[in-house]
Amino acid sequence: MSEPLATLASMREALDAGAASSVDLVEGCLARARAAQDALHAFAGLREEGARAEAAAADARRASGARRSPLDGLPVAIKDNMVQTGEPTTCASRILEGFVSPYAATVVERLERAGAIPIGRTNMDEFAMGSSTEHSVYGAARNPWDRARTPGGSSGGSAAAVAAGLVPGALGSDTGGSIRQPASLSGVVGLKPTYGRVSRWGLVAFASSLDQIGVMAHTAADCAWLLEAIAGHDPRDSTSLPEPVPRYGETLDGDVSGLVLGLPREYFVEEGVDPEVLSTVRAAVSELERAGAKLREVSLPHTRYAVATYYLIATAEASSNLARYDGVRYGHRAAGVRDLTEMYHRTRSEGFGAEVKRRIVLGTYVLSAGYYDAYYRKAQQVRTLLRRDFEEAFRGCDAIATPTTPETAFRIGSKTADPLTMYLSDVYTVSANLAGIPGISVPCGFAQGLPVGLQLLGRVLDEATLLRIADAFQARTDHHARRPAEAP
């Protein structure tokens, strides 16, 4: 095929028209992924043999009239913290080198049941701890719009792969903005569902009360297909919600007339935000108003505490979750050790990178005797206040609109020496994770030639409204249709 088909919908149309086979689509994605790897580092690894076999099986199903779903035969990518049977899973960390999973994550099972074909694992910040995909054993991922800049993180490999047209859709995980922030910086759509909407079984844990698997694609419509395939109750995940999954695609009617968008005054301040990003987001909100939405100012008064609260809770949970990596059962084990204590110490020292170590130390500190009440317990109390802020705001609006990030993609290396500045990249996104509500970032324009994202936040389990608004916005604009000049 002369040009890559960028969206799941366009690939589906090509299959239905007989203009392409699943084998053609998979081979095209694999070829582009290989060609772009040195430039973008979007992938941690490709599963070429397995993907080709699954593509051939999809073509056979189509020939027999046994199509499974709209995703049947379409290539996708999976972030390197979701296990796949017989495939490596490393979380971009040396400490999991050599680990091959004996089972598949629920989301992978459900994608495969729908007929989607994972072609590879995408690069990420080590154990999803970062906002730039620079903390990776595979090297920093790069933004297709400007390869000197980050695609965001921690799901930066997924964002870069979709933005560059290497795959039409990908899974990511979002603990404090790790889907929405890279989606914004890379110019794609990224959706974090309600906590519990999508099973976390088989997702390597970072912060268990915050982690959520979500989807990335060029369009809200494609995200609706992906979310519908992976969402739903899973008895293997105790946090999974036993709620029916809507037919998300059927809600995309292009009509936002009468919907009320809340504009939180705490998010639309000039301090700490690129003025061009803010003006671009305001213009996007105005476009939705012209489409029939109503605007209303709301307040989220505890927003100023969100980043501090997040980094106390997330690091505490990371400290607990990452204690299992000790060199005993799987992954890296230090060589030449004299006793068990030395093995633990050296294995973890050699296996974890600097950012992961920083967060483990901070999390251990806030959980320690004498500091638990002052830090961790207090953070959980503030988390309750943040959730109540959203509950109150949603009494007067159907969704909340904000910038996704305070700036466009920043240069690789520009923030690594200042972790606090890096953490502020999540200032607009962490509150949704703390409150457990869904959020989506949709491309809404450009600043200095780089993508800007509009974030929409919704009520618990109301992903359908967010997708509906995002789809209506994309029907009236073409920001999502633009492609980076440097993409392969």
In a domain, 405, yes or no: yes
Tokens for 94, please give them. 């040396």
In a domain, 363, yes or no: no
Tokens for 436, please give them. 């457990």
Q: Measured between alpha carbons, how far is 158 from 173 in angstroms, rounded to an integer?
A: 10
In a domain, 487, yes or no: no
- Which residue's structure tokens are 């290539």? 75
- Exactly one of 21, 22, 79, 132 is catalytic; which is it? 79
Tokens for 406, please give them. 């305070």
In a domain, 365, yes or no: no
Query: Does residue 257 carry a catalytic annotation?
Result: no
* Strand-pair category, 450-458 with 439-447: antiparallel
Q: Measured between alpha carbons, how far is 399 from 408 in angstroms, rounded to an integer?
A: 24
The per-residue DSSP string of 439-477 comes to EEEEEEEEETTEEEEEEEEE-TT-HHHHHHHHHHHHHH-
In a domain, 167, yes or no: yes
- Which residue's structure tokens are 């109503």? 294
Tokens for 464, please give them. 């359908």
296: helix, coil or strand? strand
82: helix, coil or strand? strand
- Which residue's structure tokens are 């029916």? 244
96: helix, coil or strand? helix
Task: Give the residue among 350, 322, 357, 325 at the shortest CA–CA distance from 336.
Answer: 350
In a domain, 148, yes or no: yes
Domain count, the chain: 1
Answer for the pair 452, 445: CB distance below 8 angstroms, yes or no.
yes
Task: Give the residue among 161, 156, 158 at the shortest CA–CA distance from 141.
Answer: 156
Task: Give the residue among 225, 254, 227, 251 at the shortest CA–CA distance from 11.
Answer: 225
**288-292-297 Cα angle (round to 5):** 65
Length of the chain equals 488
* Domain containing residue 234: CATH number: 3.90.1300.10
- Exactly one of 131, 132, 155, 178 is catalytic; which is it? 178
Q: Tell me which long-range contacts 329-334 makes (C-beta under 8 A, separation of at least 24).
A: 330/96, 330/98, 330/99, 331/95, 331/96, 331/97, 331/98, 331/99, 332/94, 332/95, 332/96, 332/97, 332/98
Burial group, residue 329, by CB count within 10 angstroms (0-12, 13-18, 19+): exposed
- The whole-number pLDDT of residue 1 equals 34
Task: Give the residue among 470, 98, 114 at the shortest CA–CA distance from 288.
Answer: 470
Mean pLDDT by 10 residues, the chain (488 residues): 73 96 98 98 98 98 92 98 98 97 98 98 98 98 98 98 98 98 98 98 98 98 98 98 96 95 95 95 98 98 97 97 94 95 96 97 94 95 98 98 98 92 93 98 97 98 98 97 80
Q: Measured between alpha carbons, how far is 24 from 190 in angstroms, rounded to an integer?
A: 26
CA distances to 283, 289, 296 from 258, in Å: 19, 10, 12
Tokens for 150, please give them. 């980050």
Tell me the CB-side half-sphere exposure of residue 10, using CA atoms within 13 A.
14
Tokens for 339, please give them. 């006793």
- Paired residues of 231 in beta bridges: 198
Who contacts 232 (Cβ-Cβ below 8 Å, separation ≥6)?
110, 198, 199, 244, 245
Angle, helices 306-321/354-367, rounded to nearest 10 degrees: 100
Q: Measured between alpha carbons, how far is 407 from 418 in angstroms, rounded to an integer?
A: 16
Residue 57 phi/psi, 5-degree rounding, is -65, -40
In a domain, 345, yes or no: no
Residue 201 belongs to domain spanning: 8-263+273-300+391-481
Answer for the pair 24, 15: CB distance below 8 angstroms, yes or no.
no
Tokens for 264, please give them. 């939180």
pTM for this entry: 0.97
In a domain, 1, yes or no: no
- Exactly one of 136, 154, 184, 431 is catalytic; which is it? 154
CA distances to 92, 93, 112, 451 from 204, in Å: 12, 12, 19, 30
Task: Name residue 138's amino acid.
Answer: Y
Give me the torsion for CA of 155, 159, 161, 164, rounded to 10°. Answer: -160
Burial group, residue 317, by CB count within 10 angstroms (0-12, 13-18, 19+): buried
- The whole-number pLDDT of residue 2 equals 37
Query: Does residue 238 carry a catalytic annotation?
Result: no
Query: Does residue 415 carry a catalytic annotation?
Result: no
379: helix, coil or strand? helix
